[in-house]
Structure 1
C-alpha cells in the first residue's frame, strides 16, 4: 500500500506553513507566488494524488441534477432510464446528490421549451437531456452553456450541441445490425413490413430515424430485391385503431411473414398477431420491456435488441457526479452494447446490470 502523504509532510518539504499548503490544495487566495511555486514543486516531487472522494465529502455541498425525458407509459424504455438514474442517486447519497426528473410531451416542441426553461430557471449543477429536434434543443443547451451548466445527451447524439458526454446506441449501426439479423430469417422473402410510429407522417425520434437509415442501407446493399412496406401507426392512436390498420395491412399483404420496428412498441404488432392467430408472421423490435418480453416468449416477436436503458440512466448521473463533484475528466461519447435477445436467452438478460 502506498504511504499516505500528510499536509504536514508537504509543508516540511516545501518549507512553508501547513495553512499555506491547505490554501494551495484548495485553490484559495492569499498565497504568494513564491510560496505557491514551492508547494507545487513539493507536490510534484512527492507524486501527491488528492483523494477527491474525501475532499468532496468534506466540502459538504449539495448538488441538484435534472433529468429531462419524455412522458411515457408504465413499463416503457424510459422507466428503466429512471430506475437506473435513481439507483445512482441513491448510491451517491453521501455526496448530497438530488435528482429531479422532469417530463415533456415527446411530440410537442412547446412542451419541451416550457419544461427546459423551468430547468434553466432552477439553476441546477448539471442536466441530462433526451433531446427534441436539433434547433429546439439548441435553444435550451445554448442557455446552459451561457450559465456554465454541464449537460449530457441521452438517447440521441447531437455533437453540434457540444455536450459534456453522450450515452446511447450508435443508431445507424444498430439499424444496420437489425436488418442483418432480420435477413437471417427473411432472406428468401419477397417483402417485409416496417412498422413506425409517427406524428403527421413523420417519425418523432431522431434515434429511430437514424436506425431506419442504417436498416435501409443494409437492405439496399444486400437485399435490394425485397420490398419494404411501411405501416405508420399514429403516435397517439388507440388500440382499436391499431388493430384495424394492422388487419387491413395483412389482408392486403398476405406475403408478409416478417416485420420490424425501430421502436419499443413491437408488442403492438405482437399482440395483434397472437390474437388474430397469425402464427406464420413475426416482428423484430427494440427494448426488453415487459410487454415485448411476453410476446417474445409466446413466439410473435422473433428478436429484441436490448439498449440497456437502466445502465444508460445510471451512467448519465454517475458521469455528472464524476465531472462536477469529483472534477474528473469523462468520456465524451459512450455507445451502449447492441445485444440480441431471443426466446432461448431472454431469461438470462440482466436488466439492471451495471
Structure 2
C-alpha cells in the first residue's frame, strides 16, 4: 500500500508538505501543490478518513534535552538543526517538538533545563545524557511519570532507554587507528590527546579511545598508543606548552588522535615546524575542523552525522507515538571518513533555519 512517505519521496517534498496538500491546508505553493496532486493521482492515493481524523485529534509532545553550542564549540549545533528539520516535518501530524539547552559543563544547568522540559508535559523525551548522577535523577523522574526516553549521541548502559541514536564509537575509534597506521607505515608511535572535560563526561570519547587502542592490539602491531591528558584545553598558553614539550621529548610520535570535535584547538597549539611532520585525525566537520582539513593541518576527520542523529531521533519517536512502532535499541549511523577533497559535500546544516523552533 502506498504511503505518505512514498508520495513525498516520489514528489521530492517533505511528508509534511504532502499532508498539507491532502488536507487542503495553506503553506504550499501552487506549483508544489500541483506536483504533489499529480503523484497522488498517479498512485490512486486515497485518504483513510478515520485514521486522518484520529491523527488530527491526537497531539503529542516530544521534548529534547540537548547541550547548547557557541562559536568555540559548534558541534551541538548540527544535531540541534536536525531536530529543527524533523520538528517542521512532523508538526502536521500533531507532534510538537521543543528543545531545552543546557551548559554541558554545569550540572545545575542540566537539571534546570530538565525542570523546564517537564513543564511541557512531554509524551516522550530525547536526551543527551551528560552527567552521571544528574542523569540518574532525570531518568528516575521520567520513569516515575512513565515517559519513554531515547538517548542521543551519548550511549550509557544500565538504563531503560527505548534506544540510542548515534555513532558506534568503538568502531569509529578502530577506523581512526587503521587510518593513522596506514598513513604511517614506517616504525613510529601514536599519541592520543584528551581534555579532562571529555574524559570525565563523555562515554563516546572513552569508547573511541578503546577502539583506537584495539586496532593496534588486535592486529598485533608493535605500537602502544600513548595518552596525553590536558586539564584545560581552552587555556591556550598552558596547553601549547604541554603539547609541544611532550612532542619534543617523544620525537618518535608521527600520528596524533584527538577523539573529540576539538582537534582544531590541538592544531592551534602545535608549533608549525612539528605540525608538518605529523598526521592528525579527529572528529566532526565543524567549521574550525574543516578549515584544518582544507589547509592540510589535519589528515582525516571522522563524521558521526550529527545532523542526521537529531533528525532521526525525532522521526523514530514520532513513528512510535503515531504507529506504536518500537525502534531498534541501537541505531548506528554511517561512519564517514572525510578528507580535503570530499568534506565540502558532507554538510547540509547551512540549509536549515532555526528561527521557527521553540527553544528554552
Q: Give 1:235 deviation, angstroms.
A: 4.4
Partner of 1:312: 309
Find out whether 1:298 has 2:295 as its counterpart: yes
Whether 1:280 and 2:244 are equivalent positions in the alignment is: no
Unaligned regions of 5+ residues in structure 1, if any?
A: 3-48
Unaligned runs of 5+ in 2: 3-46, 352-360
Q: Take 2:54 and 2:194, find their aligned partners in 1: how far apart are those partners?
A: 47
How far apart, in 2, do the equivalents of 1:52 and 1:160 lie?
A: 41
Match of 2:178 in 1: 180
- C-alpha displacement at 1:303, in angstroms? 0.8
| 1:39-78 equivalent positions in 2, closer than 5 A | 54-59=52-57, 61=59, 63-74=60-71, 76-78=74-76
Residues 350/111 of structure 1: CA separation in 2 closer, same or farther (3 Å cut): closer
Give the match for residue 193 of structure 2. 195
Query: 1:92 offset after TM fit, Å?
Result: 1.9
Structure 1 residues 292 and 210: alpha-carbon distance in aligned structure 2, compared to 1, 3 A threshold: same
Displacement after TM superposition at 1:175 (Å): 1.3
Normalising by the residue count of structure 1, what TM-score does the alignment of the two structures yield? 0.77
The structure whose Rg is larger is 1
Contact 2:267/2:297, CA 8 A, preserved across alignment: yes
* Relative contact order higher in (CA < 8 Å, ≥ 6 apart): 2
Deviates more, 1:333-342 or 1:236-245: 236-245
Match for residue 210 of structure 1? 207
Q: Secondary structure at the match of 2:248?
A: helix
> 1:253 aligns to what?
250
Q: 1:140 to 1:239 in 2, by over 3 A?
A: same
Q: Kindly report structure 1 stretches of 4+ aligned residues shifted beyond 4 Å.
A: 49-53, 273-277
Structure 2: distance between partners of 1:52 and 1:191 = 66
Secondary structure, counterpart of 1:189 in structure 2: coil
Deviation, 1:212, is 0.9
Is the 1:76–1:289 Cα contact (8 Å) retained in structure 2?
yes
Kept in 1: contact 2:180–2:279 (CA 8 A): no
Q: RMSD between aligned alpha carbons?
A: 2.8
Relative to the length of structure 2, the TM-score reads 0.76
CA distance in 2, matches of 1:136, 1:60: 32
Native 8 Å contact 1:192 1:228 kept in 2: yes
Q: Aligned in 2, Cα 1:317/1:235: closer, same or farther, shift over 3 Å? A: farther
Pairing 1:1-354 to 2, within 5 Å after superposition: 54-59=52-57, 61=59, 63-74=60-71, 76-199=74-197, 202-235=199-232, 237-273=234-270, 275=272, 278-351=275-348
